[in-house]
A and B are shown apart, each in its own frame.
Chain A
């Protein structure tokens, strides 16, 4: 749910990067953090273990275009992917406006993708939300690796809803597909918040 500060003319949106462990959620945020100008980004907080697993969550506030005289700010979160930390994931999802599901394209991680997507659906239901109605983008990450599943099968596996959600191939470490994903989910959130007929000021 967006938070509007009328005094400061700021609208805050919450985007959550969801997905199985080590799929590349933190890598997405890190690349965004590196590429945005200082004026558009805040301090990135990352709580990771020594083996690059997110322990609690990552947080990166970024500001973007103005809409109807309001500055839009997006708070980007990741969740810990490991099954153990479902309570944390559920907490992070509270008040979510949009979701990026980062899937690991490797063959051996397919099952974890499916389980994580189901877990996302269940956790959204805890807040009365549903995947079908929440702005969501799929990102098939690690496409540069050799042992990855074809897009057809990934779509069959993770994107069988009606209607399907946008998807992007990505290599988060190199930035490929990272901003396409972020811009798309952000615009979907804006469309949902402001409708399609609003005038937009860049």
Chain B
């Protein structure tokens, strides 16, 4: 605030100096160019003119002041006038071959334009210096102190002080021109303001006209800056810093302690805006107070507790109740004796879903025959499975026990276990081959962190799940069998430690472009049919070489999705054993809540093509049906 005031005062002095300098230069140049040299006024008239004119001006501009104040203002103006005359005389003596006495004579009388210029300029200079213009005058209303000329100058030379000063109680010094009100003693007015705060509503004009003193009440002072974030910026016309300076008590808000005390037990102190608004001047507000009340009816300030509590006497918050009685506990030794802290290791964490529905431990424990459904029976194992493989398979068998009549085979492919469960009636070699291809698919999409792959054909459904140990669990049932249950059980069997890390290969990069008729035509219809996947952007990866064309339906034109679809084509579609398993309908990849469904398309031209739809799906069956419908639409394209 002090810096701001200094800045304003310097600006006023500069403004006055510029005005005075302009007058001196004008008079000197007029003499140089012999402008108005023909004018001749009696010297006596010229000598009497300033005091008379200034007295009249004082009476007109500040008509409510006493004659003594008019006189003092006129004398100040005469002083400025004389100073301007002297300055003009000096410049004349320096710029012309005149003696100083001769220059004084010309500046004050013989060259008539000079005294006339000084006569006009002196009040303007005075208006630019409000403290010189007006001595302190308690009890003046701001509006009544302004004359039109002064108001005009205020408009021409904007002065933020006019905005910054609060229109509240105090002793004011109405100034000319800028119409600035100076509070002579801030401390004197605080009680009056708080009185207004407590006894709402209070007429501000009345407070201004007759500042009242009330008995000093304990107040809490809060830095206005601490509340700045709670102020809707649209309410104020000033940026934060001047807004802070515009307070009745600059930079602070004052709140009666008696409003604060009852809220201390709540851990926060909230004061309604209506109790604080008097501390903000009207001119600092961008809208009428009534509008603020309408738009922010429940606007409250949360006061910073550290500032508040530091101003509360300790005796008010010191507890007088008895301290806790701990005498009895001395009979028991401390139950826990800590040792040195062990190195910090994260505690065992589980995924929430797992914790709420714990998975069976992958440890073989033969269930009671009566208590459990029949466990999957072991079919002839390929080769001679090691004990670890058998244990793994038996553990998985217990997890899949709710699905009856499954037989399993276990083997290692590239050192990684592959345990394949299948209904006895299915073509076992074909299922095993499908599972092996699934292992390849999971390896090639390792960077995608696929959690499960479900292959649906005309005769069977096979669920393939990568295991935490690095192997793969494959389970196949007849088409129409309990595929959903199989997916759930296999997911439980998957473990929580994440998949082992096979050689990771990213899907090949594929060029993708949005489909031209993405909003209309068959592709648009297909996109609408797939709305269960969310908002989709149809895109297309053109056929290139042996790679099939891919119609992509995802949230964006996803090149990786097209690449993944082609990996599915390479590993599963192109090598599919249709004779043993029936036509391949769809391959669903599950990744968290996201599902990717890839369907081979039977295009009229016979060229290989795929549909790939991706999105977060909660209704898996509906998504499958939607993909089938979309595929039909595309095949008819």
Contacts and interface: CB of A to CB of B under 8 A. Distances in A.
Interface of A: 30-37, 40, 43-48, 55-56, 58, 62, 64-65, 67, 72, 74, 107-108, 110-114, 147, 149-150, 152-153, 155-157, 159-167, 175, 178-179, 182-184, 186-188, 190-191, 196-198, 200, 202
A44 B348 contact: yes
Given A114-B267, A187-B332, A191-B328, A155 B319 contact: yes
B335 A164 contact: no
Contact of B341 (A72, A157, A175): A175
Given A110-B305, A152-B314, A64 B335 contact: yes
Contacts of A186: 334-336
A71 to B, nearest CB: 11
Given A113-B267, A162-B322, 8 more contacts: A30-B347, A33-B347, A45-B347, A45-B350, A45-B355, A48-B349, A160-B321, A161-B321
A190 B335 CA distance: 10
Nearest to A138: B324
Contact of B317 (A33, A35, A156, A179): A156
Contacts of A167: 324
A182 to B, nearest CB: 6
Given A47-B349, A113-B267, A191-B331, A166 B317 contact: no
B257 to A, nearest CB: 15
B497 interface: no
A165 B350 contact: no
Nearest to A58: B347
A38 B344 CA distance: 15
Interface string B307-339: 001000010011101111110110111111011
Interface of B: 264-268, 304-306, 309, 314, 317-319, 321-326, 328-329, 331-336, 338-344, 347-350, 352, 355-356
B266 A111 contact: yes
B267 A110 contact: yes
A155 B306 CA distance: 15
A200 B326 contact: no
Q: Is the interface of A mostly helix, strand, loop or mixed?
A: mixed
A191 B321 contact: no
A110 B341 contact: no
Contact of B332 (A156, A163, A190): A190
A164 B348 contact: no
Contacts of B314: 152
A111 B329 contact: no
Given A32-B336, A36-B338, A187-B329, A152 B306 contact: no
Contact of B265 (A30, A156, A161, A179): A156
A201 to B, nearest CB: 10
A40 B329 contact: no
B339 A156 contact: no
Interface-centre pick from B266, B268, B317, B336 (highest chain A CB count, 10 A):
B336
B325 A163 contact: yes
Contacts of B265: 114, 156-157, 160
Contacts of B267: 110-114, 157
A175 B348 CA distance: 20
Contacts of A112: 267
Given A74-B335, A156-B265, A164-B319, A47 B355 contact: yes
